[in-house]
Each structure stands twice: as structure tokens, then as C-alpha cells.
Structure 1
Amino acid sequence: MLTVVAIAIFIAAGLLATARPARADNIGYLVNVTVRPGYNFPNADAALAYGYGVCDQITAGVSYSQLIKNIKGDFSTSDEFQASYLISQSAQELCPAAIWQLRQSAAGYRPST
């Protein structure tokens, strides 16, 4: 029994040692935010700059509700989904290490009516 546990620990340690760290996926982000209508970024550089700006706000501790307000204002929209989609794409594709912080900030969030 002890041998099985030792082997399992050895395998788990090996998997953790070879796991790739979370990193940005610029192409995935660009595809997701430029194909979906509504953002109308003038070019890929502007889209990436905006997404990384969202990441900077997340890591700076800007609340989820404030992020939503910022995006709605920047894109002159009242569409809650459009704002939340851009936040989630930014976090998932450009700064996955900030996802936990974003989730903590979004806990209990209720869309404005």
C-alpha cells in the first residue's frame, strides 16, 4: 500500500513539474473579440491594448462592477453581456493568472436594472 501511495505522489509531482504556466493567448482573444459584433476595434493592436488594459484594472483591484461600468461607457452600450464578455475574454485569454482575483471581485455581483 505504501508503494502505491509513493508512486502516486511521484506521478503527481512529475505532472506538476511539467505543467505549463498560464500564459496569454493573443490570437484566441483577438478572434473572440473581433468576430463578435459590437466592439469595433480599429485594429488588432487597439483590441489587444484594450484587453491588456482590462487586465491591468483587474490586477489593480478595480471592482467587477466598476469594470462593467467602464466598458459600458467606453463602448456606449447598456448591454451587460457585451461588457461581461469582454472582461471574461480579457482575463481568460490575456491574463489567466488574474482569473481568481476577478472571480473574487465578481462574487455577489448583480447587474444594474
Structure 2
Amino acid sequence: MKPILFAGALAMTALAAAPSAHADQVAYLVNVTVRPGYNFANADAALGYGYSVCDRVQAKVGYAQLVDEVQRDFGTTDYYQGAYLINQAVNELCPAQIWQLRQSAGGYTLG
């Protein structure tokens, strides 16, 4: 009986200590406003755009299409600039969508 109770207590401790997936707006804002090229009018505009990326990922917009949309929105052909913003938005604003983004990016190649 004691080993079962110990195992249950250990499992509860592990669950309580596990990091939760939550939005970190400050980290997102620092990462997309310090890096040149996005030129958001203000923090609300940056957050609005980031959450729109999250909405598109949740709606299962394909990674290639999403990168193209971000590049078009910011008038750039720089793949990295588009991918960076997408990654920052998903990692910091909607971490629950990381799996979906990874699935849609699977097999993606530049070209």
C-alpha cells in the first residue's frame, strides 16, 4: 500500500511542478520590436498581429502559406524574417499551437 501512495504522491508532485503553457506577451513584444523589419505602430498592433498568426495556425493554414503571408504583410522576401515572427508568436503567445505548427511545417523546404 505504501509504494502505491508514494507513487501517487510522486506523480502529483511531478504534475504540480510541470511548466504550464501560457502566453508571454512581454517576451513576444521584446523579440519582435527589438528585431528590425517589423515596424509595428505600437504594442497593441504587434500583439494583434501575433495573435492573428496564432489564429491562422489554429485554423490549420499550412506553414508555407503562412510564411508567404507574413513576408507579404511586411514587404520582404526574407524567409527568416517571416519564420522568426511566426515562431515568436506561436512560442510566446499560443504555445498550445506549437504541435500544430510543427505538423504543418513537416517536410517544408526553402525553394
Structure-1 separation of matches of 2:32 and 2:64: 20
1:102 maps to 101
1:54 maps to 53
Structure-1 separation of matches of 2:106 and 2:5: 39
**Offset at residue 111 of structure 1 (A):** 1.3
Does 1:15 find its partner at 2:32?
A: no
Structure 1: segments with no counterpart, 5+ residues: none
**Worse-superposed segment, 29-38 or 15-24:** 15-24
2:40 maps to 41
**Worse-superposed segment, 4-13 or 95-104:** 4-13
Structure 2: segments with no counterpart, 5+ residues: none
Aligned length: 111
**Offset at residue 29 of structure 1 (A):** 0.2
Instruction: Report the TM-score, using the length of structure 2 for normalisation.
Output: 0.91
**Worse-superposed segment, 12-21 or 26-35:** 12-21
Instruction: Report the TM-score, using the length of structure 1 for normalisation.
Output: 0.89
Aligned CA RMSD, in angstroms, stands at: 1.8
Q: Tell me the amino acid that sits aligned with residue 110 of structure 1.
A: T
